[in-house]
Structure 1
Amino acid sequence: MSRAAALAQALSVLGRLARAGADRLRRLPRRRWPLAAAGAAGLIILLVFPVSMVAISRIDDNPDFVAPHPLPGRLHAPAVVAALITRELEVNHWRANDPLFLPGGWLRDMPAFQLGLVGALARFTGALVVENGAGWTANGPDVALNHAAGLLKYPGTVWKFDTRTSWLPTASAEKQYRNAQRSIDVFNLNFAEGTVPFERNAATLVPVVEGLIRDLDDSLDAIDHHLAEERPVLLDFAINGVFYRNKGRLYADSIVMREVATDFETVLAQRHLGPGWTRMVAALAAAARPKPTLLWGAPAESSLLPNHLLAQGYYAAQARFQAMAILAALKAAE
């Protein structure tokens, strides 16, 4: 039975139970209605929430993802950044800021994945608008691209209200990221029309690789800190957050760096860095690929259970090694 058929069957059963409960409620004396309402609320939490959580949870790690509807003359890497943002907002829906009264507020893996993904996109976009970066113009950073880089740093956990700062309504993470996506599209359209520059040389590729290395360092540091705490294997409730945030970061890096190779194809070819870049992207994709049913953090010497963080860190370290070699070659060519 498919997942959709199983979900439809479960909802049908829940509907019959709801109708039966409503019939029984009408037959109860009015003084027992508050107690019955409390019981119905508990039943909804115990039955409806778990089914809804299964239905909405999605770790979208499609390795072949590309930006749809290509426009002539546009840049590939910014286009795929905008497409990833759109996918998580409009197709998968943003779950990292769902409040606890919604089923998404009880998810852990999908929000961690989304936060890691946007974090990587923010770092890449920021690397384009640093001084003398690819998105740097004679008047400073490109306005649209710089605007997007700032918005992508917005906390992904902010809902329509952020009680940590004010009780008044505030801009949600979805609104800020949607505006960032629009700004990236504006920049790419302007580039395609020839009204903004995008320097593609070894010097402007350096900040991109440096940003990737910092991203990988963050992933490896998160793994190191988690393993240093020596949590019990069967009661490790934090491993999912570390693993899936890293997975989102590594996945986004693998997709974006694959497209960077197209935008900087001439630079990589001139310096014979194409094979090394391909190996780096392959290592990133390998680090982001696993999606185990159960996550284990067994000791490294265990012969019975795996340690998924160690496996993730191994491929991340491989990608970092390749990135460091590419960075050295780019700086030597300046």
Structure 2
Amino acid sequence: MRRWVGNLAAPKAPARTPSETGATPPASPPPASAPPASADGQTAEDRPFEVPSTPEAAPPDPNKPFTPDASVSPSEMPSAELPPVSPAFRRHPFRAFLAFITQSRAIFLATLTVWFLLLYFGMGALLTSNVDDNPAFRPAEEDLPPGGSVAVAMTSAVLNREVNEHSWTPDDPWFFPSAMLNNMPAYQRGIRMAVFRFTAALTTRQPTDADLLEAHDALATPPDRWWIGTDWPWVRASSASRYDDAVDYIRAYNARVANGSAPSVRDAATLALMLDHLASALSEGEDALVRHVSGDEAVEGRRLGNDEIFYAVRGEAYASMLILAGLREDFAPLIRQRQLSARWAAVARSLEATVGINPLVVTVGDPGSMLVKNHLMEQGFAVQRAREQLLSLAKDLRAAPATTQQQGAAQTRAQTNAQARSGSR
């Protein structure tokens, strides 16, 4: 019925004979088999709104050899390589980067190696770097037994913190992440120098003490010696291990001071000697600053950087500040007797100001420059002021106190008067 209505709605054009068109009549097509009928008895022609199904292609025969089509040129044949990257893909930066590193296996492996080195050295150095300048640092119980010296405990505590807690970095070889650092190794070298000078002062006062001699000998080890070297012996104790031994020797000495088996001399001459050695450590840093600014400073034929000199002096000032705080507790009666509390506090403030100079980038500008500061000259002035104050304190401690002089003069006058009265009789 639908077909009949459709034929009426669409009028057909009159058929033209082959003689009218001048075309050769086509050969009659071979007879086709009747289309299969569905379950309801209708054929495909009776179902005009149904889409005929496409027969599935037969699977390729694996035993049949592949024969290329001669009508397709080799340039048009599909390639066995990866499909080409579209321009839209390359326009995206991240996608373009992925496309570049995946071009070949060599480029991919080289990219992985570069990323590994960046993470290993960059992140490793960032996590290792620690310039600890805590002014409220206090020694632990194992460093300061009851009755021991606070200044001696400061030396072992700050050295133990840098060697065992923060890791000693000046002796790390080139393949360690800390080899990329400059500030922290220089800072630790400065701390070691101040501790070494203070231990030398203790050894001078007690030259026969075995623990102090061993500690002084261990601290004399260069700070950048690894346990494998190029000179003989090739295998030796590293700087970190030697300084760890020095910590043990200083702790043993302080324990003997606490139980009374080691003498603890706390007179004015001993305090003056210790202040002289602290000033000597600061004097070495000041001389290094002067030589570096003038262009003459070099260590083992290599000119140090501005930040290396700066942080080495800063480490010396920080360790000296801690030791000075310990000496104030050890010699508190003597300082009060000599009325040196105000001057002692002035030295402490000068050292704190030296440690407090902490720029983000160490610059060495021309003197008087308004754009670029000279942090080395600023630090050198603060160090010079602290050193002069220490030397002045040591000089006053060696001098006889005014009260003692007055008492001696009064005794002399009394003896003279007594002798005069006895002679007159």
Using structure 1 for the length normalisation, give the TM-score: 0.82
CA distance in 2 between partners of 1:270 and 1:317 (Å):
27
Query: Which residue of structure 1 aligns with residue 283 of structure 2?
Result: 217
Matches within 5 A, 1:138-153: 140-153=207-220
Query: Which residue of structure 1 aligns with residue 292 of structure 2?
Result: 226
Matches within 5 A, 1:122-271: 122-130=196-204, 133=205, 136=206, 140-163=207-230, 165-166=231-232, 168-229=234-295, 238-271=305-338
**Equivalent in 347, 351, 357 of residue 290 of structure 1:** 357
Q: Secondary structure at the match of 1:141?
A: coil
Are the aligned partners of 1:125 and 1:148 in contact in 2 as well (CA < 8 Å)? yes
CA distance in 2 between partners of 1:192 and 1:47 (Å):
48
CA distance in 2 between partners of 1:184 and 1:268 (Å):
25
CA distance in 2 between partners of 1:305 and 1:230 (Å):
22
**Equivalent in 120, 140, 148 of residue 48 of structure 1:** 120
Superposition RMSD on alpha carbons, in Å?
Answer: 2.3
Matches within 5 A, 1:271-290: 271-290=338-357
CA distance in 2 between partners of 1:230 and 1:91 (Å):
35
Does 1:82 find its partner at 2:156?
yes
Matched AA of 1:312: Q
Query: Which protein is richer in helix relative to its size?
Result: 1
Query: Which residue of structure 1 aligns with residue 130 of structure 2?
Result: 58
In structure 2, relative to structure 1, the CA distance for the partners of 1:316 and 1:44 (3 Å cut) is: same
**Equivalent in 172, 178, 192 of residue 98 of structure 1:** 172
Query: Which residue of structure 1 aligns with residue 371 of structure 2?
Result: 304
Of the two, which has the highest radius of gyration? Answer: 2
Q: CA deviation at 1:38?
A: 5.2
Matched AA of 1:208: M
Q: Which ranges of structure 2 fall in alignment gaps of 5 or more residues?
A: 1-97, 298-302, 402-425
**Equivalent in 133, 147, 160 of residue 73 of structure 1:** 147
Q: CA deviation at 1:36?
A: 5.7
Residue correspondences, number: 295
CA distance in 1 between partners of 2:104 and 2:110 (Å):
14
Using structure 2 for the length normalisation, give the TM-score: 0.65
CA distance in 2 between partners of 1:272 and 1:252 (Å):
25
Q: Which ranges of structure 1 fall in alignment gaps of 5 or more residues?
A: 1-20
In structure 2, relative to structure 1, the CA distance for the partners of 1:37 and 1:171 (3 Å cut) is: farther
CA distance in 1 between partners of 2:154 and 2:172 (Å):
25
Q: CA deviation at 1:278?
A: 1.6
Matched AA of 2:140: P
CA distance in 2 between partners of 1:141 and 1:283 (Å):
35
